[in-house]
Amino acid sequence: MSESIDIVILTFNEEKNIEACLQSVSKLNAKIFIVDSGSTDRTLAICEPYNTHVFHHPFENYASQRNWALQNLPLEAEWTLNIDADHRVTEALANELTDLFSHDIDTGVNGFLISRQTLFMDKWIKHGGHYPTYHANLFRKGFGHCEEKLYDQHFVVTGKTNILKNDIIDIITDSVNTFIVRHNHWATLEAQYLFAQQTQTTGNNTSLIKPKLLGNPMERRRYMKKQYESLPLFIRPVFYFMIRYFIRLGFLDGTRGFIFHFLQGFWFRFLIDVKLYELRRSKKQQTL
């Protein structure tokens, strides 16, 4: 390939996922860097035959781990692709990237937005506004970083980005129990972040994606999220689910789609509001 690429994958006890992930990127002829945060299962043993470069770093949070990797790994390629162990680069995307990097890329382009196909209970969730959802997983070395947020972190690219046609598959969970445990944890992080935003003077954080109605897909999505956050607690999850499931046609995803849209679009959002309410109530009691 004319343009070179490095791949960075974060792992922690990913023996169920890592081999399929590595197989999906094998066509890209790229150096693969594994940043492991203390796996105790067979994750690293599975990585060995794939000639990966393994580094160890304690996990603090997702953003810190990603940024540590970008700042400390011996990345040499012009471009960096960031994925998780439960991601799969589709064959179509691998072919698109191979073609893309077979010639020089416009020097004015510093990143590419890639959409994700969310798989829940082995079903692709296509409706409810959940697809396409873009992330800036691929950018020139030195031109991207991960937002310093506890939850819903995105990569921020300095400069122009283009949109790729094909997708990354995101296997969002291996079971409903795992989904609930993870989302309960993420709800706590999101509530803490929102509470801090509302109670502290944080100033203009240039490291975050800016909400823009007429911006790129990530900026538009961030704009819509800001509108959602301006609505009253407990009311907004109801509105969001109704819009997502009925107006944005989430019901077309069938039974598994209903389970996903209800859990992720209502239960999870409602849980965030409950935890945020709890934080506000605790602070109010402390001031009495």
> What is the structure's pLDDT at 43?
98
The tens digit of pLDDT for each residue in 230-266 reads 999 999 999 999 999 999 999 999 999 999 999 999 9
Q: Which residue has the tokens 């390629």?
A: 77
pLDDT band at 200 (very low <50, low <70, confident <90, very high): confident
Q: C-alpha distances in angstroms, 88 versus 20, 115, 133, 231?
A: 7, 12, 15, 36
Are 78 and 104 spatial neighbours (Cβ–Cβ below 8 Å)? no
Interacting residues of 96 by C-beta distance below 8 A, sequence separation 6+: 164, 165, 166
> What is the structure's pLDDT at 286?
87
The tens digit of pLDDT for each residue in 117-148 reads 999 999 999 999 999 999 999 999 999 999 99
pLDDT band at 205 (very low <50, low <70, confident <90, very high): low
The overall average pLDDT reported for the chain is 95
The encoded tokens of residue 199 equal 């109670």
Residue 100 has pLDDT above 90, yes or no: yes
Average pLDDT over residues 99-108: 93
CA–CA gap between residue 130 and residue 247 (Å, rounded)? 13
pLDDT band at 66 (very low <50, low <70, confident <90, very high): very high
> What is the structure's pLDDT at 202?
52
- Secondary structure letter of residue 42 according to DSSP: S
> What is the structure's pLDDT at 150?
87
Average pLDDT over residues 45-57: 96
